[in-house]
Structure 1
């Protein structure tokens, strides 16, 4: 129900033109209000706290839609943040994102490197050991990633006393962010595959559509396998009873989804040919997000290492570890 309602809003409000406008520095207010104003930020809050009480498995299709439409706002992060803080803890209504890491310097400053949507976030929620910190984007010094239309930025606060400590589950931030970005990647890759398949069926070369050539069919088949595997892993990460995913399934999901990005994006652009690299064509709105979200909160190397460490520490066989992970 919620996924369908959100997709209706995204179809109307998050058009490719709207994405381009926000990426170019236009106001995100209309799109943010369309989603936040409808109450979707509180999806994971219990009903007695004014939320929707959405079970975690039902959050996956919602996040996948955000990826499918290349939503240029941290709406998924804002939803996730409300699951991290203790019940009854209020969070600001503005654009809020999650920091992958927090570093303290000897001069008393705080830095959050490579924050997704850090270029426009009004608030940042970060884990500082076993505590959650809420930081204001208005007082942050932002250093953009330097990539064309990237929304990633490193944020620095000169005075650590500006941070507000919030009660909540700081340890759950990393696995929730990993699962969240795995879902975003799965949704975006699904849309990229659909666009590529449609183009190959429509584009005629040497008297027949590209999709009729065996070499093209092979590339599409591999692409479909990668997207399906990433989607299954991402969905599995949300199969938990609580409000946040478990670490190991989230690690597997982010590793599998991130690993698929390069092959999926490269194949999509290759099969689209010259049109696929143009700024006017919508494919690049998605593939740029794929590369950005691949690195968000750790690439496949980071999460594969966590999975490997868990395997080495487990007192069980590899087959049993895979079955129960």
Structure 2
């Protein structure tokens, strides 16, 4: 079921989320056509129970979809909306139409300020965590200013708008785990896209009468990239291993730490092999490496999740780190 679902998503994204379409939306172009196609196909309801009109899949069954959001650099929040709708359905909140993203608010008294809302520029709703409280707020009622990545914004709601929002039950820490699992999956997809483009470039680019991919130094870099890409995908799959909606903290920590670590290495080697051309706006590589850097830090970078994994090990009572790793990675 999950493969059939992912294949259908892949076909749509290959047609509509092309590099040119991504560039146009990033430049401020119209994004509704892409989102409406996703909405009409029902892909955003993958985690919504069948009784509520969704596909009724579990988190591990939508890993392929979340990864494809990175593979195709999707410039609308498909992955976020899939998880948000699953969360809202579980909380008993009517699932809204349109796209939904996640955000964390600063501790203020007179307003609700979210300094960095990923993909917030093209979102319809925002599921905001403020302390231990969650509310669903319309993005249109907030004051928006550019922040971070090209599709990111800072959003500010009045205290009255916060009170008028829809209360959502749930643990804010669990929501953060879900976000980290999402970004790990998207990183895995973007890492593979960056690697595939770099491998193709190395086989096409001629220097001294032969492809640069024939030189030992380039082959060594490509081999290192491949190791990072496939290790990151395995880790990201581990982070989405949940029969329900929320994954385990240690598995998410391993997934996000490994994929974030790979993001730096793969982006650096990809641009080294491409040379200066890889940074140009006309070249596709930068579409993916910019996302690698943005998603690496989203929901916590590798250093944060290394700390989470370390604390989990100390609390586990295991004498050896290997025992903790075995417990987290054993397939039941």
Q: Does 1:321 align with 2:324?
A: yes
Give the Cα–Cα distance (whole angstroms) in 2 for the partners of residues 80 and 48 of structure 1: 17
1:97 Cα deviation after fit = 0.4
Q: Per the alignment, in what secondary structure is the counterpart of residue 119 of structure 1?
A: helix
Partner of 1:281: 283
Partner of 1:5: 8
Q: How does 1:285-296 map to 2 (within 5 A)?
A: 285-296=287-298
Question: Could you list the per-position Cα deviations for residues 268-302 of structure 1 after superposition, in whole angstroms to 9, with x for gaps in the alignment?
Answer: 11101232121111111111111111111111122
Give the Cα–Cα distance (whole angstroms) in 2 for the partners of residues 173 and 196 of structure 1: 35
Q: Per the alignment, in what secondary structure is the counterpart of residue 103 of structure 1?
A: coil
Q: Does 1:165 align with 2:167?
A: yes
Runs of 4+ in 1 over 4 A off after TM superposition: none
* Worse-superposed segment, 186-195 or 41-50: 41-50
Count of paired positions: 321
Contact 1:77/1:96, CA 8 A, preserved across alignment: yes
Contact 2:107/2:131, CA 8 A, preserved across alignment: no
1:146 Cα deviation after fit = 5.3
1:87 Cα deviation after fit = 5.4
Contact 1:127/1:171, CA 8 A, preserved across alignment: no
Contact 1:97/1:124, CA 8 A, preserved across alignment: yes
Question: Could you list the per-position Cα deviations for residues 238-275 of structure 1 after superposition, in whole angstroms to 9, with x for gaps in the alignment?
Answer: 12211221221112111111111111111111101232
Q: How does 1:215-254 map to 2 (within 5 A)?
A: 215-254=217-256
Q: Does 1:152 align with 2:156?
A: no
Question: Could you list the per-position Cα deviations for residues 176-197 of structure 1 after superposition, in whole angstroms to 9, with x for gaps in the alignment?
Answer: 1001000000001101101101
Give the Cα–Cα distance (whole angstroms) in 2 for the partners of residues 267 and 29 of structure 1: 35
In structure 2, the gaps of 5 or more residues are none
Normalised to the residue count of structure 2, the TM-score between the two structures is: 0.92
Give the Cα–Cα distance (whole angstroms) in 2 for the partners of residues 251 and 294 of structure 1: 13
* Worse-superposed segment, 109-118 or 172-181: 109-118
1:209 Cα deviation after fit = 1.2
Contact 1:84/1:169, CA 8 A, preserved across alignment: no
Partner of 1:59: 62
Partner of 1:110: 112
Contact 1:84/1:170, CA 8 A, preserved across alignment: no
Q: Per the alignment, in what secondary structure is the counterpart of residue 112 of structure 1?
A: strand
Q: Does 1:97 align with 2:120?
A: no
Give the Cα–Cα distance (whole angstroms) in 2 for the partners of residues 259 and 28 of structure 1: 31
1:31 to 22, 29, 34: 34
Contact 1:83/1:244, CA 8 A, preserved across alignment: no
Partner of 1:210: 212
Give the Cα–Cα distance (whole angstroms) in 1 for the partners of residues 24 and 285 of structure 2: 16
Q: Per the alignment, in what secondary structure is the counterpart of residue 104 of structure 1?
A: coil
1:88 Cα deviation after fit = 4.1
Give the Cα–Cα distance (whole angstroms) in 2 for the partners of residues 273 and 105 of structure 1: 46
Normalised to the residue count of structure 1, the TM-score between the two structures is: 0.94
Give the Cα–Cα distance (whole angstroms) in 1 for the partners of residues 200 and 14 of structure 2: 19
Contact 2:107/2:130, CA 8 A, preserved across alignment: no
Partner of 1:121: 123
